[in-house]
Structure 1
Amino acid sequence: MQRRHFLHAAGLGLAAPALSLSSAPVRAANPPLKIGFIYSGPVADIGWTYQHDLGRKMIEKEFGDKVQTVFVEKVQEGPDAERVMRGLIQDDCKMIFATSYGFMDPTARVAADFPDITFEHCSGYKTAPNLGVYQTRFYEGAYLLGILAAKRSKTGVLGYVAPFPIPEVIRNLDAFVLGARSVNPKITAKVVWISAWYDPPKEREAALTLMNQGADVMYQNTDSAAIVQLAQSKGVWAFGQDSDMTRFGPTAHLSANTLNWGVYYVHKVRQKLAGQWKSEDTKWGMKEGIVQLAPLGPSVPREAVALFEEKKAAILAGKFQPFTGPIVDQGGKQRVAAGQALAEKELWTMNWYVDGILGKQP
């Protein structure tokens, strides 16, 4: 495993610093704010980590020499994350973004030890005066992709490759199926859990298993483009995740649920530079521009476009919430009454399957 990999401000690369001809030490009047990012996957995953790193680069572009950013990729979720964060602080980082759910407890521990350092944790729920959290309403995009999936599927079976059974993943799966069943109430979804965020061979194997069980439209909450590539070779359809994966399956790729983390990162760094940062529990979606959908591919049926655009406009306008009842869970229990929306607290702690998902959670 690559233990540490720092990338300095864009354009600097690994060039050595210029030498001063003066014998006296040179100190910057206003040293840049040094910001550290820790990533669970490789920057080249074309998915979750890739998109976070685009957000890091947006910070550099927005603030120039007022900031300096560094990152560590492929950090194991657990004790090693704590070691990496402490190392970033020793390297003079004053602000740290921890970009995966599994970094939650390590981030909370380090934040408690360093009250003067600002921390931001993605996908978690533990906060402190110097620790804020942020999530996205990724489920909004997942619901819209479900509409396209139902319009495209010929077998009536959808496939979903999932990493870990945490609320974020279950919420996206449920929203995808709700969107699909709003078009075809009889459509079903099968799930394979692989216990990894990024593992192209496992992702491909799981997708192949689902295809062999009749799934002809694939969705994922994992990070690589392996599933889209497999769909292209097998003549079925797929959605990219986190980034636009069209180039990996020109005809198979229907769209992608993507994330523009940069809009959030620029917002929080601006607060920090202005001395206005505060700990917040932020949940942004399509309206704020953090959840974005890739252009529709050539294989999207024409009759799907109008409905897709109608629901998309309703979500953007705040007139439609994907978890609006009636919603029944896998066991037949009514979870949301007709005309009601799932409560925010329940939305972010979701641990149940909606009707239409086959199989049990791990």
Structure 2
Amino acid sequence: MAASKTHGIDIARRRLLLGAGGAAAAAGLGLAPGRLFAQEPISVAGIYTVPVEQQWVSRIHVAAEAAKAAGQVSYVFSENTSNTDYPRVMREYAERGVKLIIGEIFGVEQEAREVVLDYPETAFLLGSSFLDDPAYPNLAVFDNYIQDASYLSGIIAGAMTQTGNIGMVGGFPIPEVNRLMHAFMAGVRETRADARFQVSFIGSWFDPPKAKETAFAMIEAGADLLYAERFGVSDAAKERGVLAIGNVIDTQADYPETVVASALWHFEPTLQAALARVAEGTFEAANYGLYSFMKEGGCSLAPLGSFEGKVPQAALDLVAEREAAIRAGSFEVAIDDSEPRSA
């Protein structure tokens, strides 16, 4: 099984999105290498249904590469694994004696759980729409609960739109996407109460051309700012001269005049918590989604970078106030997993 297949993905883009991010993550693990792991590195395998460049998966991959660079783990991965093939790949890694298997099972929930029960000595940390279940004691679940950062990015978006018409392009209307969109919309309304939203889902996790065409249609319908939940949206914004807000990763370096702000997901706290329990022999069914909260270090608002000095100060003051309250636990961003609608 190949550990690093390119599948035709541009190598320069892979290095830009993953290489620099991996180096930064290695420096920001917050734990001295070997503090938790005096023994041999823990063997970790990642199984991903999309290329590791895809926003969501890239955060898991970067965190694993950082742990590898720190000497905490050995790490191999398989990308572009179809849902139908996912259980087989899980079994292959488990049979090889991998201690911790990470990935995402949103499209293969029940089949994955059947595999988990067959390998009780293997720890599984998998992205899932469901909470932990004691019936699967070696399966811990997680999700990108980065609604805190999404809400803050919305405050900035509301201050930057001129028309109040905002386009939002997502992959699928599942809880993992819905909650971020709702948080973003709530943030927008803090600074633009009369905002209107065009919401559309492209039915794919990785189809930049389709996302781009959907974004073009929203711009034609009056949107002057786009929420780029998928790759391709910022390309449309750049070509048509409108603004965009990023999701999960910071792409401003690629779109310096387009991407104003981004809600960033940091998987390092989630992975570190799991590795600590594997090392201690205490890994069990648990909900690791909480490690994505801002107060846990699991998400943040990207630096303004090229938009420094261009965002109204009143919006920045509100962002600072809300962020401090979120980190202190005195302000909670609502978690709404229902499907957002155009309004």
TM-score (norm 1): 0.78
Instruction: State the AA in 2 paired with 1:289.
Output: G
Deviations 1:247-301 (A, max 9, x none): 1210111111111112211221122112222221122311111112110241433
Q: How do 1:203-214 residues align onto structure 2 when only pairs under 5 Å count?
A: 203-214=211-222
CA distance in 2, matches of 1:208, 1:289: 35
Quote the Cα distance in structure 1 between the aligned partners of 2:167 and 2:319.
Answer: 20
Q: Deviations over 1:53-79 (max 9, x none)?
A: 1111122133x1x53111111122x32
Higher helix share: 2
Q: CA deviation at 1:105?
A: 2.6
Match of 1:109 among 114, 132, 154: 114
Amino acid at match of 1:136: N
**1:303 pairs with 2:291:** no
Cα offsets for 1:70-120 (capped at 9, x unmatched): 1111122x3211111112123321211123522433321110121121111
Once residues 40 and 219 of structure 1 are traced to their aligned partners in structure 2, the CA distance between those partners, rounded to angstroms, is 23
- 1:35, CA displacement in angstroms? 1.2
Q: Tell me the CA shift for residue 205 of structure 1.
A: 0.9
Q: 1:313 corresponds to which residue?
A: 324
Aligned to 2:241: 235
Q: Provide the C-alpha distance between the structure 2 equivalents of 1:67 and 1:199, rounded to a whole number of angstroms.
A: 32
Runs of at least 5 residues in structure 2 that lack an aligned partner in the other structure: 6-18, 20-38
Partner of 1:43: 52
Rounded to whole Å, the distance in 2 between the matches of 1:100 and 1:208 is 31
Which of 3, 6, 19 is equivalent to 2:3?
6
| Residue range with higher mean Cα deviation, 85-94 or 239-248 | 85-94
Answer whether contact 1:107 1:121 (CA < 8 A) is retained: no
User: Which 4+ residue blocks in structure 1 deviate beyond 4 angstroms?
Assistant: none
Q: Distance in 2 between matches of 1:31 and 1:296?
A: 41
Distance 2:4 2:139 in 1: 24
Structure 1 residue 40 displacement after superposition: 2.1
**Structure 2 partner of 1:252:** 258
Cα distance between partner residues in 2 of 1:301 and 1:75: 44
Cα distance in 2 for partners of 1:274, 1:193 equals 42
User: Shift in Å at residue 31 of structure 1?
Assistant: 5.8
Larger Rg: 1
Please give the alpha-carbon distance, in whole angstroms, between the structure 2 residues aligned to 1:351 and 1:113: 34
Task: Find the residue that maps to 2:295 and give its secondary structure.
Answer: coil
User: Which residue identity lines up with residue 158 of structure 2 in the other structure?
Assistant: A
- Seq. identity, %: 29
Match in the other structure for 1:87: 92
Considering only aligned residues, what root-mean-square deviation do their CA atoms show, in Å?
A: 2.1
Pair 1:134 & 2:142 matched: yes
Task: Note if contact 1:155-1:215 (Cα within 8 Å) is conserved in structure 2.
Answer: yes
The normalised TM-score by structure 2 is 0.82
Aligned counterparts of 1:251 and 1:302: Cα–Cα separation in 2:
19
CA contact (8 A) 2:191 2:315 kept: no
CA contact (8 A) 2:129 2:176 kept: no
Counterpart of 1:150 in structure 2 is 158
Q: What secondary structure sits across from 1:248 in the alignment?
A: coil
Equivalent position of 1:26 in the other structure: none
Superposed, 1:1-362 pairs within 5 Å as 5-7=2-4, 32-45=41-54, 47-62=55-70, 64=71, 67-76=73-82, 78-125=83-130, 126-127=132-133, 128-222=136-230, 224=231, 226-282=232-288, 283-284=290-291, 285-297=293-305, 298=307, 299-323=310-334, 347=335, 350-353=337-340, 357-358=341-342
* 1:277-329 CA distance string (max 9 Å, x none): 22211223111111121102414333321111111111111111122xxxxxx
Q: Is the 8 A contact 1:162 1:192 kept in 2?
A: yes
Q: 2 CA distance for matches of 1:287 and 1:37?
A: 26
2:44–2:99 Cα contact (<8 Å) kept: yes
| Matches of 1:103 and 1:261, distance apart in 2 | 22
**Unpaired segments of 5 or more residues in structure 1?**
11-29, 324-346
**What is the count of residue pairs matched by the alignment?**
303
What secondary structure, in the 3-state scheme, does the structure 1 residue paired with 2:311 have? coil
| DSSP-derived class of the 1:109 partner | helix
- Aligned partners of 1:56, 1:32: CA distance in 2, in Å? 12
Aligned counterparts of 2:229 and 2:105: Cα–Cα separation in 1: 13
Q: Take 2:229 and 2:194, find their aligned partners in 1: how far apart are those partners? A: 23
Aligned equivalent of 2:23: none
